[in-house]
Amino acid sequence: MALEIRPYREEDLAGMIRVWNEVVEAGNAFPQIDPLTMETAGAFFSSQTLTTVADLDGRLFGLYILHPNNVGRCAHVANASYAVASSARGLGLGRALVEDSLEQAARKGFRGLQFNAVVASNEGAVHLYEDMGFTRVGTIPGGFVNFMGAYEDMYIYYKNTLNAQRSC
């Protein structure tokens, strides 16, 4: 199994859309409701500070986007979103993507990485972030509406990136 984590290329867009939309359409992790199309995906992914894919033996199974969490005086803290194809979950791709995003955030001058909306029922993400040393800094009660219309709590996580060079 040869895993390559690299910046996306235009020819990756169809695979990226497939993986991203799988998470969007599940309705239990991403805040987006509308799936990406070939027309919207290029602009969305190219507008990020960094968009990276997980290429496993020549096939795209995951990706992340990295960008400032806010503007101006708060732009030194990054935010990221991760998507892994359901067929590749449990193989360590999520961990590899988070590790890479921490390193890339540090390289790009971000001092921290913050997740604003980790859905409480997303046990895999919660376990991963806590195992990797992210601190849960808050809970927003009922902050996420899932695909069934139920309100779920969501968590905010933070980790300093100043010492992120393979310290995960």
Give per-residue pLDDT as tens, 25-76.
999 999 999 999 999 999 999 999 999 999 988 899 999 999 999 999 999 9
Structure pTM?
0.93
- Average pLDDT of the chain is 94
pLDDT for position 79: 98
Do the domain assignments include residue 168? no
Do the domain assignments include residue 166? no
Q: Which residue has the tokens 């995003």?
A: 101
pLDDT for position 167: 42
pLDDT for position 164: 59
β 135-145/151-160 pair status: antiparallel
Strand locations in the chain (E): 3-7, 50-56, 59-68, 77-84, 112-119, 135-145, 151-160
Do the domain assignments include residue 122? yes
- pLDDT tier, 162 (very low <50, low <70, confident <90, very high otherwise): confident
pLDDT for position 150: 97
Q: What percent of the chain has pLDDT over 70?
A: 96
Residue of higher predicted confidence among 166 and 51: 51
DSSP 36: P
* CATH assignment of the domain containing 75: 3.40.630.30
Using only the alpha carbons of the chain, give its radius of gyration. 15
Indicate the number of domains in the chain.
1
Do the domain assignments include residue 167? no
What's the average model confidence in pLDDT over 105-132?
A: 97
d(CA 106, CA 160): 9
Q: Is the pLDDT of residue 90 over 90?
A: no
Do the domain assignments include residue 109? yes
Do the domain assignments include residue 165? no
Strands lying side by side in the sheet with 50-56:
3-7, 50-56, 59-68, 77-84, 112-119, 151-160, 135-145
Q: Is the pLDDT of residue 19 over 70?
A: yes
Do the domain assignments include residue 104? yes
d(CA 52, CA 105): 12
Residue range of the domain that includes 31: 3-160
d(CA 29, CA 33): 11
Do the domain assignments include residue 111? yes
Instruction: Report which secondary-structure segment, H or E, holds 124.
Output: helix 123-131
